[in-house]
Structure 1
Amino acid sequence: MSDAALFDARDDGIAVLTLNRPETRNRLAQDVREGLFAAATTARFAVTDK
């Protein structure tokens, strides 16, 4: 997963996706979009694995 979008699955079932490109004001550049897609995929599998 890209450092442009970070994923955290909390114990209470909440998934947190964080944009991590402050130098570009979190513009939705290619790396951020790829990171969001990867994080969403990870979140989907984290939910279905429980």
Structure 2
Amino acid sequence: MQIVYAMSSLRMQSDILFDISSQEKMLIGSIHLLTDDEISNRCQGYV
């Protein structure tokens, strides 16, 4: 019973975190895009 409750609470927390992160990407998408571009540029440099 406790294990099931712990797993369900963890899933709820991850869903909430995912919702928050998606909202952040919508609110400050430009910053996330810049970060993604920087990461892709660095990856291309390493390849």
TM-score, structure 2 as length reference: 0.46
Q: Which has the higher contact order (CA 8 A, sep 6+)?
A: 1
Task: Indicate the structure with greater strand content.
Answer: 1
Decide which structure has the larger Cα Rg and report it: 2
TM-score, structure 1 as length reference: 0.44
